[in-house]
Structure 1
Amino acid sequence: MPGDVRGRDSNEAPRGGVSIADAAFSPRRRLFAAFVIFGLLNNVLYVIILSAALDLVPPETPKGIVAFFNIFPALLAKVGWPLVSNGQIRYARRVGFCTAISWLGIVTIAMSPGVNPRLFGISLASFSSGLGELTFLQLTTTLPTRAASRTAIGAWSTGTGAAGIAGAAIWWLLRGLGVKGGLGISSFLPLFFPVTFLYLLPDWSELAVDNAYRPVAADESEAEPDENDGVLAKPVPKVWLSTRDKLNLIKPLILPYMLPLCVVYIEEYVINSGIAPTLVFPIPSHGIWSWLFKTPRDYYPFWSLTYQTFVFISRSSLSLGLPPIPKHLLPVPTIIQFFVLVLMTLQARSFIFSTPEYTPPAPEPTSGVDRAITMVFLLSCLEGLCGGSAYVNTFFHVGHEGDDGHEDDDTDASSVEEIKRKMEKEFRIGATGAADSCGILFASLISMPVEVALCNAQIARGRSTCRNM
Structure 2
Amino acid sequence: MVLAWALGTGASGIVGSGAYAVLTEPKLLGMSPQNAILLILIVPAVYFLSYWTILMHSPQVHRAQLLNPSSWIVPAIKAGGKINRCDDVTSDLKNVGSGTHEFTFVQKLKMIKPLLRYMIPICVVYIIDFLINSGLLQHVKFDCGHSFYLSLPSQFRWFQTFRVLGLFLARLSALFIEMPSFVLYLLPFLQLINLIIFYSQALFQIISHIILIFAIIFVEGMIGGECYTFFGKIHKKASPEVKEFSMSVISLGNTVGTTMAAFLSILAHKHICNLYPTLFP
TM-score normalized by the length of structure 2: 0.73
Letter of the structure 2 residue corresponding to residue 162 of structure 1:
A
Letter of the structure 2 residue corresponding to residue 261 of structure 1:
I
Tell me if the contact between 1:268 and 1:337 (Cα under 8 Å) persists in the aligned partners.
yes
Q: Aligned residue for 2:164? A: 308
Q: Aligned residue for 2:216? A: 379
Distance 1:238 1:391 in 2: 22
Tell me if the contact between 2:125 and 2:188 (Cα under 8 Å) persists in the aligned partners.
yes
Between 380-389 and 195-204, report the one with greater CA deviation.
Answer: 195-204
Tell me if the contact between 1:278 and 1:348 (Cα under 8 Å) persists in the aligned partners.
yes
Task: Measure how far apart 1:247 and its partner are.
Answer: 1.3
Q: Aligned residue for 2:204? A: 350
Q: Within 5 A, what are the aligned runs for 1:251-330?
A: 251-255=113-117, 257-284=118-145, 289-291=147-149, 293=150, 295-319=151-175, 321=176, 323-330=177-184
Task: Measure how far apart 1:264 and its partner are.
Answer: 0.2
Which of 1 and 2 has higher RCO (CA within 8 Å, sep 6+)?
2
Distance 2:99 2:125 in 1: 41
Distance 1:197 1:387 in 2: 34
Query: For 1:325, what is the secondary structure of its paired residue?
Result: coil
Specify every segment of 5 or more residues in structure 2 that has no aligned partner in the other structure, as ranges.
Answer: 24-32, 59-86
Identity value in percent:
24
Tell me if the contact between 1:334 and 1:390 (Cα under 8 Å) persists in the aligned partners.
no
* CA separation of 1:443 and 1:248: change in aligned 2, threshold 3 A: same
Letter of the structure 2 residue corresponding to residue 163 of structure 1:
S
Q: Aligned residue for 1:444? A: 262
Distance 1:380 1:182 in 2: 25
Deviation by residue 1:215-241 (Cα, 9 ceiling, x = unmatched): xxxxxxxxxxxxx9xxxxxxx899521
Tell me if the contact between 2:99 and 2:240 (Cα under 8 Å) persists in the aligned partners.
no
Tell me if the contact between 2:100 and 2:242 (Cα under 8 Å) persists in the aligned partners.
no
Specify every segment of 5 or more residues in structure 1 that has no aligned partner in the other structure, as ranges.
Answer: 1-151, 206-227, 229-235, 354-369, 403-420, 464-469
Q: Does 1:400 align with 2:236?
A: yes
Q: Aligned residue for 2:243? A: 425
Task: Measure how far apart 1:389 and its partner are.
Answer: 0.5
Q: Does 1:241 align with 2:103?
A: yes
Distance 1:185 1:377 in 2: 28
Q: Within 5 A, what are the aligned runs for 1:1-150?
A: none
Tell me if the contact between 1:268 and 1:383 (Cα under 8 Å) persists in the aligned partners.
yes
Distance 2:216 2:43 in 1: 36
TM-score normalized by the length of structure 1: 0.45
Q: Aligned residue for 1:166? A: 15
Tell me if the contact between 1:314 and 1:385 (Cα under 8 Å) persists in the aligned partners.
yes
Query: For 2:194, what is the secondary structure of its paired residue?
Result: helix
Q: Does 1:156 align with 2:5?
A: yes
* CA separation of 1:396 and 1:182: change in aligned 2, threshold 3 A: closer
Task: Measure how far apart 1:400 and its partner are.
Answer: 2.6
Task: Measure how far apart 1:383 and its partner are.
Answer: 0.2
Task: Measure how far apart 1:204 and its partner are.
Answer: 5.9
* CA separation of 1:301 and 1:397: change in aligned 2, threshold 3 A: same
